[in-house]
Amino acid sequence: MIHILVGHEAAKNLEEAFALDENLKGEIVVLKDTLGVGPIHPNEDEKFIGIRTSFWKELDATFPEEDQVLDENTIKLLAVRAQREEEPLCFWMSPCVTDVCAYFWLLTHLKQFPGMLHTINIIGLPFLNEKGQLFYPTNFSQIPAKEFLKTKRLLKEVTPAEYEVEGDEWARLQQENAWVRTYEGGKKIASKDVAYFDTLIKNSLSSEFQKANKIVNETMKKITQSVSHLFIEWRIKELIKANSIIINGEMGKSFKDFEIKKAGESQAENNQTSMDV
pLDDT in tens, 100-138: 999 999 999 999 999 999 999 999 999 998 888 999 999
Q: Is 6 helix (H, G, I), strand (E, B) or coil?
A: strand
Average pLDDT over residues 76-88: 92
Domain boundaries, the chain: 2-176, 198-274
pLDDT score recorded for residue 266: 47
Q: How confident is the model at residue 272 (pLDDT cuts 50, 70, 90)?
A: very low
What average pLDDT does range 183-202 have in this prediction? 97
Please give the CATH number for the structural domain made up of 198-274.
1.10.10
pLDDT at 66: 56
CB 212 within 8 A of CB 239: no
Contact 95, 135 (CB under 8 A): no
**81-92 mean pLDDT:** 94
Enumerate the β-bridge partners of residue 191.
181
Tens of pLDDT, residue by residue over 15-70, are 999 999 888 899 999 998 999 999 999 887 788 988 999 999 999 888 876 567 88
One DSSP character per residue, 145-191 reads GGGGGGGGGG-EEPPHHHHHHHTTHHHHHHHH--SEEEE-STT-EEE
Give residue 59's pLDDT: 93
Question: Beta-strand (E) ranges in the chain?
Answer: 2-6, 27-31, 89-93, 117-121, 127-128, 134-135, 156-157, 180-183, 189-192, 210-211, 245-250, 259-262, 272-274
More confident residue, 225 or 37: 37
pLDDT above 90 as % of the chain:
75
CB 92 within 8 A of CB 15: no
Instruction: Please state, in angstroms and rounded to a whole number, the distance separating the CA atoms of residues 235 and 221.
Output: 16
Query: What pLDDT score does 276 carry?
Result: 40
